[in-house]
Amino acid sequence: MSFKARYECFNGCPGAVYPLDEVIYRCRECGGLLDVVHDMDGLRGHDAATWKSIFDGRRGTTTWPYGSGVWSKKEWVLPGVDAEAIVSMCEGNTNLFWAERFGRELGMSDLWVKLCGNTHTGSFKDLGMTALVSQVNHMRRRGVNIPAVGCASTGDTSAALAAYCAAADIPAVVFLPADRISLAQLVQPLANGALVLSLDTDFDGCMKLIQDVVSRIPIYLANSMNSLRLEGQKTVAIEIVQQFDWEVPDWVIVPGGNLGNVYALGKGFLMMRELGLTRRLPRIVCAQAHNANPLYRAYRDGFATYAPMQAEQTLASAIQIGDPVSIHRAIRSLQAHDGVVEEATEDELMDASARADRTGMFCCPHTGVALAALIKLRANGTIGPKERTVVVSTAHGLKFADTKSAYHAGTLEGLACNQANPPVAMPPDADRVLDLLQERLKL
């Protein structure tokens, strides 16, 4: 059986149809974003039960390339990429765990966390990057002139791009905002041999610059305006449902910045329903940092208006974006999923993350934004006590050890650090240590 996908204009321009093997980012008619559209009739060549058993049968396999969480869904992701061109480091297949204690503290019995940061470069950006770099590798092998791949990034995209390009021996260039990303995020592309430009501007500034540059030289653009990545990112939705034995949860909460992921998640749920693997859709919550909340502002206004904003500094640095490229497709996806948008202040996101950590997690600040949204929506009754809720944890907490350490030291400027648990400095003296233990452990 053969499966096909192609680009179409997201705004539906008739005739705006392009092969995936073409270097193109926007519709030639209207300049709008492109969407990867699958031949659904072709995919219907297998019934729902067959797809489920194909996907279930690939779990944990070492048969190339199906051991990857993304490529185990290859026919639904990028069916036209040759298996030999795929650049994969076994991304995805991340754990989905029952957050029993944290859920209990919030008065809910069915809370789950999907740990998408437990993957190759420590963030869920790997899922999309394996798709994009594989497509680029496929095109290069067919003689398309792509001397390098580049992106502007708030840290995680560049780490993923650098790693996947290094694996395929493709030159990578990354544009980063100076002093606005974590040490771990900076060292990753350096270690993987990317050309790293540290620029005295914010993410939105880096984005404008790289778009200007790629219009003059043939560097392939890997930002999330590039719809290939979303095909990999959408597998989060499929994986969650598969992990629940093909049952759809009631709510899925994801932090949002450039908003490609809230769209991609929705796309995954819609595709499963369309092909009969599921019958309903979850409600989706997009959680934004108060300091970078253009989607939240539009939502408060019933999506009647939208205005880009100047994003303020947020510790959730990967979502410090004031002019999200995927705003319109995110809104469309939220509307299809009876969606909610919530926001979190700096105190709320760091405190929520620390509270969850006290129950055994180790959350990044973006996951903290999602958890703060969960706390609010549970407290105001939007999310019911028995509703099955999945929080998408987008990066590994260890990537943000600097921010988290500063929180526990109580040195984050302007923050209360309510849950700080600072280390106790002591002389190596048994009596003093005993006194302290008796006091602190109430012995």
Ligand X SMILES: *Cc1c(COP(=O)(O)O)cnc(C)c1O
Peptide bond into 177 cis (omega under 30): no
DSSP state of 83: G
Helix axes 156-168, 125-141, angle to 10 degrees: 40
Q: How far is the CB of 226 from Zn ion (least distance, A)?
A: 16
Query: Quick one: what does residue 395 bind among Zn ion, ligand X, none, with the CB cut-off 5 to 8 Å set by partner type?
Result: ligand X
- Site membership for Zn ion, residue 11 (CB under 5 A): yes
Q: How far is the CB of 13 from Zn ion (least distance, A)?
A: 3
| Nearer CB in complex with ligand X: 238/259 | 259
| Nearer CB in complex with Zn ion: 29/301 | 29
Quick check: 9 and 29 in contact, CB under 8 A?
yes
Q: How many CB atoms lie within 10 A of CB 44?
A: 13
Helix axes 260-274, 327-336, angle to 10 degrees: 40
Q: How far is the CB of 395 from ligand X (least distance, A)?
A: 3
- Site membership for Zn ion, residue 338 (CB under 5 A): no
Q: One symbol per residue from 264 to 303: x for binding Zn ion (CB under 5 A), - otherwise; what is it?
A: ----------------------------------------
Helix runs in 246-316, H state only = 260-274, 294-300
Binding to Zn ion in span 20-59, by CB under 5 A: 27, 29-30, 32
| Nearer CB in complex with ligand X: 65/257 | 257
Query: Quick one: what does residue 373 bind among ligand X, Zn ion, none, with the CB cut-off 5 to 8 Å set by partner type?
Result: none
Quick check: 195 and 165 in contact, CB under 8 A?
no
Query: Quick one: what does residue 259 bind among Zn ion, ligand X, none, with the CB cut-off 5 to 8 Å set by partner type?
Result: ligand X
Quick check: 265 and 236 in contact, CB under 8 A?
yes
Question: How far is the C-alpha of 340 from the C-alpha of 287, rounded, in Å?
Answer: 8
Q: How far is the CB of 398 from ligand X (least distance, A)?
A: 12
- Site membership for Zn ion, residue 426 (CB under 5 A): no
- Site membership for Zn ion, residue 17 (CB under 5 A): no
Sheet containing 251-255: give its strands across.
Answer: 96-98, 111-115, 389-393, 251-255, 283-289, 340-344
Q: How far is the CB of 110 from ligand X (least distance, A)?
A: 24
| Nearer CB in complex with Zn ion: 24/144 | 24
| Nearer CB in complex with ligand X: 16/163 | 163
| Nearer CB in complex with Zn ion: 27/161 | 27
| Nearer CB in complex with Zn ion: 12/107 | 12
| Nearer CB in complex with ligand X: 318/334 | 318
List the one residue from 3, 8, 9, 403 that touches Zn ion (CB under 5 A).
9
Q: How far is Cα of residue 337 from the mean position of the Cα atoms in its chain?
A: 18
Q: How far is the CB of 133 from Zn ion (least distance, A)?
A: 26
- Length of the chain, please? 443
Q: How far is Cα of residue 322 from the mean position of the Cα atoms in its chain?
A: 17
Question: How far is the C-alpha of 74 from the C-alpha of 235, rounded, in Å?
Answer: 10
List the one residue from 13, 24, 37, 167 that touches Zn ion (CB under 5 A).
13
Q: How far is the CB of 343 from ligand X (least distance, A)?
A: 14
Burial of 46-71, coded b for 16+ CB within 10 Å and e otherwise, reads: beeeebbeebeebeeeeeebbbbbbb
Quick check: 21 and 142 in contact, CB under 8 A?
yes
Q: How far is the CB of 38 from ligand X (least distance, A)?
A: 20
Residue 33 phi, psi (nearest 5): -70, 155
> Contact residues for ligand X (CB under 6 A)?
123, 125, 156, 224, 255-261, 318-319, 364, 366, 394-395
| Nearer CB in complex with ligand X: 71/263 | 263
Residues contacting Zn ion: total by CB under 5 A:
8
Sheet containing 219-221: give its strands across.
Answer: 195-199, 172-177, 148-152, 219-221
Q: How far is Cα of residue 340 from the mean position of the Cα atoms in its chain?
A: 18
Query: Quick one: what does residue 322 bind among Zn ion, ligand X, none, with the CB cut-off 5 to 8 Å set by partner type?
Result: none
Structure tokens at 33: 């974003």
Query: Quick one: what does residue 281 bind among ligand X, Zn ion, none, with the CB cut-off 5 to 8 Å set by partner type?
Result: none
- Interacting residues toward Zn ion by CB under 5 A: 9, 11, 13, 16, 27, 29-30, 32
